[in-house]
Structure 1
Amino acid sequence: VNAIIINKSPIVMIIGIGTRKSLCFMLPAASYPGRLTVIIILLISLQGNLIDWYQKLRISYAEWRSDRVPGDVLIMFIIPESAIIKRFLDFLELWQVMAKVDRIIVNKCHMIMEGSLSFRPKLYKLGTLALIRV
């Protein structure tokens, strides 16, 4: 948690099930108005749980849509396949230049490390996001 507070990057967290790991990115997102936290979500089913928390905590959020730029939100969800397309990368780079991107989170990243190349092969291209310094 200290590393998150002082904005160290990159951070890899390995924490047990049911420990509210999402608080580690929810609280900083709520603490930095005007800055965006991007959450790459591998399992759409988990998005509903996170949205419930954001609504309770009144944290603004949006889902990435290539046909429109998100408004003033603190958290943006995106699926891995969309996170590597040019339109999103251009958006992210522009916002990073304007110092509006706070952090990029890969939720359930262990699925990338444990999966095979045949399981959602585009997951392995997410490493290109490391080129965008946040």
Structure 2
Amino acid sequence: MQTQSTSTMTWDPWQPVPYEQTEGAPLLLRGEVSNHYRGQIEGEGVQQVLIALSPDGASVFTALERVTGRIGDRSGSFVLQLTGTTGGGAAKATLEVLEGSGTGGLAGLRGTGAYFCDNPGPDGNATLTLDHSFE
């Protein structure tokens, strides 16, 4: 049975680090960010992110994140794969639970979702929605 769970995601301040720069091309950055989930999804996550930052300040990113916590009454961990964009004062991403990444009570978790944030700064938050089921 497919279920939709929502959560508010906040994050600790973090600073991506440049790892490649070519004149006239997007700056490539990487970083680690700690996320906090409150709502139907409760837990903590550590995300490794790669970013391509355009000269106009917009960016494209991809990330992997292990989330440890609970969904409903099931506890464990799982890995999210995220792809997103920032620009115009907003950030949005699509996400997918990596098949086979669930542990404990979250073993067999499958799902896709998204998040949207209209205040992506250090004090911001995002609304995350995950449509999920268990094998």
Pair in the same fold by TM > 0.5:
no
Identify the TM-score tier after normalising by the shorter chain: under 0.3
Whose helix fraction is larger, Structure 1's or Structure 2's? 1
Bigger relative CO (Cα 8 Å, ≥ 6 apart): 1
TM-score (norm 1): 0.23
TM-score (norm 2): 0.23
Whose strand fraction is larger, Structure 1's or Structure 2's? 2
